[in-house]
Amino acid sequence: MRPRRTTRQRVMPAVADLVFACTLLWGCASPIPDLWPPTPDVPARTIYVSLDIWHAMIAFPVGTPHTYEEWGYAERAWYLEDRRGLTGILRALFWPTEGVVEVGQYDRVWADRTPQPPAELFVFRVSEEGYRRLRRHLRSTLSGDTPVASLGQSRFYPAVRSYHLFHTCHQYAASALQEAGLPISEFWAFNRTSLAWQLHGAARIAAEDGGRSSPVTR
């Protein structure tokens, strides 16, 4: 005869399954209907999301044609102070350190000028309200208005949140896009692959809805 399971043996697997299910539900994101995808009768804006091997950037057309304002996030010590190598990797991932927000203006988006190809470019249309929420969220990630460094056409500002394994450029971009109504989860954007998977999913939703979203591999 098989030994009877105790109450603990019966309950613990059920509890584990419940916790796992709740984690999945908490992590998964859905479109916010009032924001995205925009219906044909509401004003909409175009945004660009670039992904190369390591980095994620969000860009908006501004001013003259073919000029983009671009936002990204990085660890200050690695990106600005050249404190890299194995110790730099361990520090950046496993110890909360100072983050910086990059804001630049360029005539090409990051996917077209990255030194670390291949890259993908995702183009989304978002509602005017979603666009305002996205811009407002990005501005809220700055802890000050004075840049700590300038490189080329980019300025780097101190970030509100620290940089670590659970808050990198991928989670930074995901949380911003979620503000615009896209079905992108910061919880699941733990690396480039998982963020790209979510962006491809959003592009499919937009295509089915008649929107214009086209990922392009560089």
Angle at 102 between CA 128 and CA 121, to 5 degrees: 60
pLDDT along the chain (218 residues), means of 10: 44 38 50 86 93 96 90 86 62 74 97 95 96 98 95 96 92 97 94 96 88 60
Q: How many helices (H) and strands (E) does the chain have?
A: 7, 8
In angstroms, what CA-CA distances link 45 with 35, 56, 83, 103? 12, 20, 38, 19
How far apart CA 108 and CA 64 sit, in angstroms, is: 13
* CB of 153 closer than 8 Å to CB of 104: yes
What local confidence, expressed as pLDDT, does residue 214 receive? 60
Q: What's the pTM?
A: 0.82
